[in-house]
Structure 1
């Protein structure tokens, strides 16, 4: 297998390079020849900017075909792609850039001054390039005069291809290093397991700064040498318009709940579809059953995370069980353990641990954290809690450390609490996940104010939106004299969830 992931992809491109790769609805179509040419030109710009193999390239741009070409250019130059959520605010970006020390930063033209200020402040000596969703910016301008040929730099499979940051439960984000082999192994397994066909067309409505949209969806398309219909964002009505032109759709549970609200969702709308896949957050059994009843299609749910792509999947052929994420992938080992690390028998609930060729190689600049998250025999401790049934199907029954998954995105309460606790007049706070019909979960902040201070929830939420990505910002805030604690002084978040369950439910009903 070629060491460089791009070489693997290129070996699977269609012989006729004029075949479509990215179709932008009502706009433009890019072929596989365009992919090779544009990624080559972008690669030349990166090299001219001083990027060498192993250097990080931070990318915070809107979803566009050119952003995919940047991904390919990073692979071709041997650089390490560092995709960043477009919702990240300056305070967050400052940490990412100072920690990863990229040699180049690619951002939206409108944020160039902001990012340049952060680059200057951190002193990382990165070259700043811009890329707009409308194919504008200095990267595009400089690429125009470059050769459309580029010799892909050889890499060993164990070298890092990408670093994906996920927020840490202690408040410090962690950069998961994914090697060329990690990404290749997962893509090849999923391509085979999900039965990709020569005439498949993916309807792509996911973001591309996230494992799901960038590596699971896009990498499968590249391995198959097939087209994908590329939507800038998810819009239920647009997706329903485009389903007749596609055969595969990948989404987060929120996508499916929103599709179910449309009377247009029916068997006729989905008549050309081969497969619907869901992930990034648990799919409610109710959504699973309602979708099957409305369309005649059973959603295939799978399970994975930033630190390794996919670990399990319901089968393409066979029973897809509501409330489960299926058995382990063929090349994966999944086990359930107790707090002491002992493997539990089938049917018992415990921590989920995984081992396989796609599991990441470690956290960037965090050797001690890496060591702590792996067992002596090489299993990664996911932090999720689950159970394996008699058929080998895994069910996720909870998440350790109070992780909230809102709209498919991970929200670590500690990071949000730290931001709230730094606000004037706040003594302390606790952020909990509450059930939400659209996002799956949403945050509720319970806050203790300084005595005599009258804080405004509206003003505090507005302030948070300027410092955190919007999906991390709680939907509601409540103020209390003190937080409930156990005998060890730990905040009892389970008590908070119970205490505010009726208030939360009432507020949702009022909003609807």
Structure 2
């Protein structure tokens, strides 16, 4: 079955102004003339240095391997591996080979992987060697023809097979509207949706951010984010590659190790949790940050206390921005002082080429400082949800604007404020958690009558997942046992930090659970 297009009005809006061509070809065109210059250096583990020539040759070999498999046009390549430079090379290889990249969170468990593989029907699955046994069973049952392994220590069958391929490869021609990646976002009803992003979506956003954030060829990016979502895979990696800038590559975030490399770096991107952990280190000083030009935060709200303390300690004002899987980046606080100040508690202005409006529930436009639903359009807005034509249609307005599901306002100076989220989304440590998914699993457990899941402010994660469970008559529920069952079913970031058993849930006159009451009850749970 072919990807489902967006409604005509949305597609027309998305295609307007899209740069054409294969995204990899555009990234490759930005490589420096001296291909033997360092491109990526590992920041933890054994020190390894990859040149730009290494990136070109290694991605060509993997692309040739994929081409040799005789995959159908538009084939999906699903990847669930630990972070490594080779995993990034695999992503680049999929792009240049003209296939569709499908990154999967490394925390996903078997039931989640079974859904993604069954829904996307990838022709190729790449997983960590330690998970090959159960992942391959899921993949082969779903009809996947090829399963490879890729480990963070540069081993695995993918690299073994690619080693025998030629080191030259001409990128497969692609157009702006051709699919480049599918990112699954958790569904509010527990059913995840695959956001289809095109070569044009990704390239247009990368080019916009290159100008907006002043990327330079002499930049050095500390890359300490995962590469299975927008922030680390697209925003950070594309930014450095398109600038011909060097990356210091951390397989996982370690505040002490990152601080040790700050003096040689110029750019750092992180979710609020990473900034909180940096602030916990005495080594975060103005001297350590003297060479830095830009700290960027996103994927979750940054507490104003964190914003202010970081400025005081480092001498740098964090640049906050706003985006999502379906749109990549939408807004940004200014980089250049001439364009305005970076204001804590806001996500700045819409990026060039991005339309953003705030609408009331009745569809009328909201005025200054009036709160409503945020809607967007532009070349960065996705193609639609994979094999969900009705859901795609539902999420776009009749005049082609995408309904983000976020609630916010625009102040008198034009800054965008995100004040809430519809559908009760919880963002914990930068990861999206939809309560309905967790509630559905809890409600299936023996002895559980019903449950409610909410987010509570957390000094480290931004928000923490909290569950309240009501037992069936006569049932004796143990919170630790329920949490243990959840850990076996879902990714750890979705598992509640606290779970309470109580006789009932607060309801309004219509019988609807009052989650606002529950949020008020747990808001001080993690204080101090």
Quickly name the TM-score band, shorter chain normalised. over 0.9
Rounded to whole Å, the distance in 2 between the matches of 1:49 and 1:439 is 42
Rounded to whole Å, the distance in 2 between the matches of 1:22 and 1:53 is 31
Pairing partner for 1:29 from 39, 45, 49:
49
Aligned to 2:165: 146
Aligned to 2:509: 487
- Deviation string, structure 1 residues 236-262 (Cα, Å, up to 9, x no partner): 111111111110000000011111111
Task: Give runs of ≥4 in structure 1 deviating > 4 Å.
Answer: none
Aligned to 2:470: 448
Gaps of 5+ in 1: none
Pairing partner for 1:266 from 271, 275, 285:
285
Rounded to whole Å, the distance in 1 between the matches of 2:485 and 2:266 is 43
Rounded to whole Å, the distance in 1 between the matches of 2:508 and 2:517 is 10
Verify: 1:170 aligned to 2:189, yes or no.
yes
Aligned to 1:53: 73
- Deviation string, structure 1 residues 276-303 (Cα, Å, up to 9, x no partner): 0000001111111111111110000000
The alpha-carbon deviation at position 21 of structure 1 amounts to 1.4
Aligned to 1:431: 453
- Deviation string, structure 1 residues 90-145 (Cα, Å, up to 9, x no partner): 000000000000000000011111111112333x2331011000111110100111
Pairing partner for 1:81 from 98, 101, 105:
101
Match runs of 1:458-469 below 5 Å: 458-469=480-491
Aligned residues: 505
Q: Normalising by the residue count of structure 2, what TM-score does the alignment of the two structures yield? A: 0.94
- Deviation string, structure 1 residues 482-507 (Cα, Å, up to 9, x no partner): 212222222110111223345x24xx
* 8 Å Cα contact 2:125/2:144 also seen in 1: no
Structure showing greater relative contact order (alpha-carbon pairs closer than 8 Å, 6 or more residues apart) = 2
Aligned to 2:9: none
* 8 Å Cα contact 2:196/2:386 also seen in 1: yes
- Deviation string, structure 1 residues 205-231 (Cα, Å, up to 9, x no partner): 000001000000000111101110000
* 8 Å Cα contact 2:397/2:403 also seen in 1: yes
Pairing partner for 1:409 from 408, 420, 431:
431
Q: Secondary structure at the match of 1:466?
A: helix
Rounded to whole Å, the distance in 2 between the matches of 1:53 and 1:308 is 24
Match runs of 1:131-280 below 5 Å: 131-280=150-299
Aligned to 1:305: 324
Pairing partner for 1:341 from 337, 342, 363:
363
Pairing partner for 2:418 from 393, 396, 405:
396
The alpha-carbon deviation at position 2 of structure 1 amounts to 4.5
Q: Secondary structure at the match of 1:311?
A: strand
Aligned to 1:366: 388
Rounded to whole Å, the distance in 1 between the matches of 2:437 and 2:419 is 23
Match runs of 1:1-12 below 5 Å: 1-12=19-30
* 8 Å Cα contact 1:82/1:162 also seen in 2: yes
Verify: 1:382 aligned to 2:400, yes or no.
no
Verify: 1:92 aligned to 2:109, yes or no.
no
Verify: 1:499 aligned to 2:521, yes or no.
yes
Rounded to whole Å, the distance in 2 between the matches of 1:441 and 1:45 is 42
* 8 Å Cα contact 1:20/1:226 also seen in 2: no
* 8 Å Cα contact 1:52/1:77 also seen in 2: no
* 8 Å Cα contact 1:54/1:160 also seen in 2: yes
* 8 Å Cα contact 2:105/2:228 also seen in 1: yes
Q: Secondary structure at the match of 1:219?
A: helix
Rounded to whole Å, the distance in 1 between the matches of 2:521 and 2:211 is 47
Rounded to whole Å, the distance in 2 between the matches of 1:287 and 1:439 is 12
Aligned to 1:324: 346
Gaps of 5+ in 2: 1-18
Rounded to whole Å, the distance in 2 between the matches of 1:174 and 1:488 is 30
